[in-house]
Amino acid sequence: MSLPLSEQNRNSHESDCEPASYLHGWRLHLLSLSIALCMFLVNIEVSIVGTSLVSISDELHGFDQMGWVVTGYLITYTTNNIHSGMIIIWAKLSDIFGRKWPMITTVAIFVAFSGGCGAAQSMDQLIICRVFQGIGAAGCSSLALTIAYEMVPKDKYPVQAAQLAGATAFGSLVGPLIGGGASQNAEWRWVFLFNVPVGVVTILLLFITLPSKFPHQSDPSYHSPSWRQRLSRASLARLDVSGAFLLLGATMLLVAVLLEGGVSIAWSSATSIILFVISGVMWIAFVANEWFFTKEKFRTEPIFPWRFLHDRAWMGTLIISMLSGIPYNIIVIDIPQRFQAVSGLTPFDAGVRLLPFNFLISFASVMVNVIAGATGILPVYILLFGSAIQLVGLALFSTLPTDGTIPAAIYGYQVLGGFGIGCVMGILLQIPPQVVQKRDIAISSGALLQFRVFGGALGLSITTSAMNNYLSSHMPAAVGGTSASALLQSVEVIREYPHEVQAQILKAFAEGYNLQMKIMVGFAALQVLVVGMLWRKNQIRLPARKKSAS
């Protein structure tokens, strides 16, 4: 008895592609550009908003909700991207409907809700649009990485990784400048509206360059299923809907209690306890769900196959990806905030002063892939080196003065931290195809990115909670409890107090930011230890670059 057509296609996808199926010429170059634009847009959204949050919160009156503006985006980005749920769902949808239309759909969702963010009239509206913007971003990044792996042979992976790392890092580099410039001119809405024209161009490029049957466009034995077959019960049964729901719910509840605990709800309240318990139960249910559906007898394809847990090196890769997302997101958000709230800089000046950090991430991300491809150095050594350098830089960040001054040494700290983070993020892009099975390429691509974004969301929620709780407990001594509540709505209120009181308030803010950095150092130290999980007898090696015939 023959297999269903969807199963035939899946098996076909799992087989190695023939050289003839790879893209060439103008189509390859333009598709590479469109994929790079996807990564650029998705990653610019964190750094571009970082320099704008103070202006946004002042106009929409919600300093205490700033964490949600970023975290709402990151959580849906995460749960759609990889491990969470939606990201894997996007990967599975691309297996059923092909790569082209899910890819275009994700960009369209991202663009539409970017416009919604730009039109938001309240902080709640902005947060909701950011959540849906994150849903689109999740698919953009995971499918972009999957397509990048599939359109070239393995020996070209270093070049692809360098391009993607460069696009990702470039977004981080120019984001603070765009966000700061727009906010300084009272036009913070263009921080989001900027995505619309660039996103439309990206959609047109994808429509023109991405073959409908990709990655099987040159395989005569491949039979593209009809839309009826794609929408059949048998095809849709492959989607792990229960796993996606459990992962999304567990993540959102955990982040909600971390962000609001001690601010709008007490840590010891029934609400906090119930949220923690329900989140814990959903995490356990998610793990059980993935174990259950990994069994061969089920058609449903788990978003996080149980076999991943049996691969120590791959689990180490994912944990490192998660931990590396924490310092990046916290620095691009908190350092510009600190420059504005504590040192009194304009949004644009704050963005300019973050350039060394973002430039070194860009430089290291590209450089490490070029060097790895040329020398064959083992990824585990690069990860250990980058993690150690990152730890040193972040430890120095936690020693910044609390009097509002900006020491020249901070740029050295940015160089160290950015270089270390760039090394880790850059080399991680090349590891999935060398570790997982062919059938798991789409899932692993999503998982790698989702773990990084989930780490950023989790770390940001923890540090935001620490900051809000620190201010709530230290502000009353300086300005009184009622005024402390007002300060969490808009930092502009600080300017209404006498100079002596302002100094006390700003010192509390600076101490809160230093506390966030100390928390981050703990995560960075753990990352150094986790690199050991990748050490094995047969070390992970990157594919050797083919030499052209003389």
List pLDDT tens digits, range 6-42: 344 444 444 444 444 677 788 888 998 998 888 888 8
Highest mean pLDDT among 101-115, 257-271, 451-465 belongs to 101-115
pLDDT reported for residue 21: 66
Greater confidence (22 vs 409) lies with 409
pLDDT reported for residue 550: 39
- Residue 90 contacts residue 106 (beta carbons within 8 Å): yes
pLDDT of 144 strictly over 80? yes
Mean pLDDT of 246-261: 76
- Helix or strand run (H / E) with residue 282: helix 270-293
pLDDT reported for residue 57: 60
Mean pLDDT of 138-164: 79
- Least confident piece of the model among 226-235, 432-441, 453-462, 466-475: 226-235
**In residues, how long is the chain?**
550
Residue 261 pairs in a beta bridge with 265
pLDDT of 529 strictly over 80? yes
Q: Which of 513, 519, 523, 517 is nearest to 452 (CA)?
A: 523
pLDDT reported for residue 74: 40
- Residue 128 contacts residue 76 (beta carbons within 8 Å): no
- Residue 302 contacts residue 442 (beta carbons within 8 Å): no
Q: Rounded to an integer, what distance in angstroms lies between the CA atom of residue 473 and that of residue 527? A: 31
What tokens appear for 361 in the block? 């991430």
pTM of the model: 0.72
- Residue 321 contacts residue 379 (beta carbons within 8 Å): no
Predicted confidence (pLDDT) per residue in 185-209, tens digit = 657 777 788 889 999 999 999 999 9
Q: Rounded to an integer, what distance in angstroms lies between the CA atom of residue 373 and that of residue 31? A: 22
For 227, other C-beta atoms within 10 Å of its C-beta total 8
- DSSP reduced 3-state for 265: strand
pLDDT of 549 strictly over 80? no
Integer angstrom CA distances of residue 386 from 98, 215, 418, 427: 37, 34, 10, 10
Mean pLDDT of 305-332: 87
Q: Which of 88, 325, 36, 319 is nearest to 205 (CA)?
A: 36
pLDDT of 440 strictly over 80? no
pLDDT band at 417 (very low <50, low <70, confident <90, very high): very high
pLDDT of 481 strictly over 60? no
Q: Rounded to an integer, what distance in angstroms lies between the CA atom of residue 483 and that of residue 90? A: 46
pLDDT reported for residue 387: 95
Q: In this prediction, what percent of the chain has a pLDDT beyond 70?
A: 77
Highest mean pLDDT among 125-134, 215-224, 264-273, 319-328 belongs to 319-328
Q: Rounded to an integer, what distance in angstroms lies between the CA atom of residue 525 and that of residue 518? A: 11
pLDDT of 80 strictly over 70? no
Given the structure tokens 């769900």, which residue do they identify? 289
pLDDT reported for residue 370: 80
Highest mean pLDDT among 11-20, 256-265, 317-326, 522-531 belongs to 522-531
pLDDT reported for residue 14: 41
Q: Rounded to an integer, what distance in angstroms lies between the CA atom of residue 106 and that of residue 137? A: 7
Q: Rounded to an integer, what distance in angstroms lies between the CA atom of residue 355 and that of residue 178? A: 12
Q: In this prediction, what percent of the chain has a pLDDT beyond 90?
A: 16
pLDDT reported for residue 83: 36
pLDDT of 539 strictly over 50? yes
Cα-flanking dihedrals φ and ψ of residue 265, to 5°?
A: -135, 145
pLDDT reported for residue 526: 95
Greater confidence (454 vs 323) lies with 323
Greater confidence (442 vs 105) lies with 105
Mean pLDDT of 281-295: 89
pLDDT reported for residue 439: 73
Greater confidence (533 vs 215) lies with 533
Annotate 106-129 with three-state secondary structure.
HHHHHHHHHHHHHCCCCHHHHHHH
Greater confidence (242 vs 77) lies with 242
Mean pLDDT value across the chain: 77
20-215+231-534 — its CATH code? Answer: 1.20.1250.20
Greater confidence (298 vs 320) lies with 320
pLDDT reported for residue 81: 35
pLDDT band at 183 (very low <50, low <70, confident <90, very high): low
What 8-state DSSP symbol labels residue 215? Answer: T
- Residue 388 contacts residue 327 (beta carbons within 8 Å): no
**Domain ranges across the chain:** 20-215+231-534
Q: Which of 98, 1, 55 is nearest to 345 (CA)?
A: 55
Mean pLDDT of 456-462: 79
At residue 472's C-alpha, the angle toward residues 466 and 475, to 5°, is 120
Highest mean pLDDT among 220-224, 321-325, 383-387, 469-473 belongs to 383-387
pLDDT band at 77 (very low <50, low <70, confident <90, very high): very low
pLDDT of 382 strictly over 90? yes
Mean pLDDT of 86-115: 82
Greater confidence (450 vs 506) lies with 506
pLDDT of 522 strictly over 90? yes
- Helix or strand run (H / E) with residue 79: helix 66-81
